[in-house]
């Protein structure tokens, strides 16, 4: 049923954004498809909204139909090879789903614990954390193809999955209805690849541990960085990491290293990529460009998290315009200092732009 909403800020983790002209709450796949078809038939602009955790909505809102995904639940199907296929509805809260997998002895997704938002959003930008990406376990995605007016299943190999991207990102032809993962059934985690996580767990990289232990460790690390949602803690009123880690050529990486060394700033963490390029730590670049935690100060309604420089947080009483101004400031400082242009990770809706 269509309803009105005073502000999309009520439905986003940033608590920012103006009203939608129309909001439709869709409790299952059929309702999602029906709502999208109705909007398309009317020639209306469409915004599909899950948990609102990776979204920046303009202050003047969205002049169109917002379809809120409220489908829930998952089904586990044992496979002959000892793994299991788990089909989960797009509107299911991601961390609720990950917690259920751990409780049911299913391993592989535990390093993605604590990430806010809906499950349907995870393949769109190939969500990843602590050495695991959705692409590592994704089997396929069921989507509503608006152009073909058909529900189809797309294998993971055809989704163009890359670092925080897929063919679904930045496009609205295919609406995710359900996601299917292949997981382990022995109650153990994926091999621990992330050095920080291995240290917390006191294991060597590559070790598998009980999935519940890995989940607890990841949640502890994320809470320490203000990356687990808490309505009472404004340091978590964010869209998570606002910028992706830039992937650059070796020449650019060498120039960044030269500049930080010349200013005695300390090295920028870097990781080699499979294609011969280098991934740089966006947080390290931000800090070495002179942006500290809490920037620009305690009186600003929108500011950098006091616990992690990759998160831009809303302290209450702020606007999307102020958030975007801060994002531009941070981006420009990094580009001036190191010649590297940071790219936003959240979806910028409508008139939002950097």
Catalytic residues: 164, 241, 345
Q: Which letter does DSSP use for residue 12 in this model?
A: S
Q: Which letter does DSSP use for residue 165 in this model?
A: B
Is residue 101 within 8 Å of residue 185, measured between CB atoms? no
- Strand, coil or helix: what is 227? coil
* CA-to-CA separations, 336 to 83, 263, 330, 341, 342, in angstroms, rounded: 49, 14, 10, 9, 11
Closest CA to 86 of 219, 184, 220: 184
- CA–CA separation, 224 and 173 (whole Å): 38
* CA-to-CA separations, 227 to 26, 40, 218, 223, 288, in angstroms, rounded: 28, 36, 10, 6, 21
Buried (b) or exposed (e) across 20-51, using 16+ Cβ within 10 A? bebbbbbebbebbbebbebbeeeeeebbbbbb
Q: What is the dihedral of CA 87, 90, 94, 99, to 10 degrees?
A: -30
Contacts of 157 (CB under 8 A, 6+ apart): none
Closest CA to 88 of 69, 75, 103: 75
């Amino acid at each position: 049923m269509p309803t009105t909403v005073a502000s999309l800020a009520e439905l986003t983790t940033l608590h920012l954004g103006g009203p939608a002209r129309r909001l439709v709450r869709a409790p299952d796949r059929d309702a999602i498809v029906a709502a999208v078809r109705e909007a398309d038939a009317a020639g209306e602009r469409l915004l599909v909204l899950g948990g609102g955790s990776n979204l920046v909505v303009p202050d003047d809102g969205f002049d169109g139909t917002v379809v809120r995904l409220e489908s829930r639940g998952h089904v586990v199907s044992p496979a002959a090879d000892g793994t299991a296929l788990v089909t989960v509805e797009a509107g299911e809260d991601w961390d609720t789903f990950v917690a259920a997998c751990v409780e049911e002895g299913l391993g592989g997704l535990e390093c993605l614990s604590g990430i806010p938002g809906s499950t349907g959003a995870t393949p769109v930008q190939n969500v990843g954390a602590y050495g695991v990406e959705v692409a590592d376990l994704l089997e396929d995605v069921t989507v509503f193809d608006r152009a073909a007016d058909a529900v189809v299943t797309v294998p993971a190999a055809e989704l163009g999955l890359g670092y925080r991207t897929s063919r679904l990102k930045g496009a609205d032809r295919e609406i995710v209805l359900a996601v299917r993962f292949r997981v382990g059934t022995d109650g153990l985690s994926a091999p621990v690849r992330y050095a920080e996580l291995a240290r917390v767990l006191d294991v060597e990289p590559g070790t598998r541990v009980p999935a519940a232990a890995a989940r607890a460790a990841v949640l502890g690390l994320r809470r320490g960085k203000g990356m687990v949602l808490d309505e009472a803690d404004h340091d978590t009123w964010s869209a998570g990491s606002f910028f992706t880690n830039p992937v650059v050529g070796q020449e650019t990486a060498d120039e960044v290293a030269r500049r930080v060394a010349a200013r005695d700033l300390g090295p920028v963490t870097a990781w080699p990529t499979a294609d011969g390029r280098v991934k740089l730590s966006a947080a390290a670049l931000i800090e070495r460009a002179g942006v500290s935690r809490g920037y620009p100060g305690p009186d600003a309604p929108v500011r950098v998290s006091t616990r992690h420089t990759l998160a831009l947080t809303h302290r209450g009483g702020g606007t999307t315009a102020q958030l975007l101004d801060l994002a531009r400031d941070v981006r420009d400082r990094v580009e001036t200092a190191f010649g590297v242009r940071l790219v936003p990770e959240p979806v910028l809706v409508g008139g939002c732009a950097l």
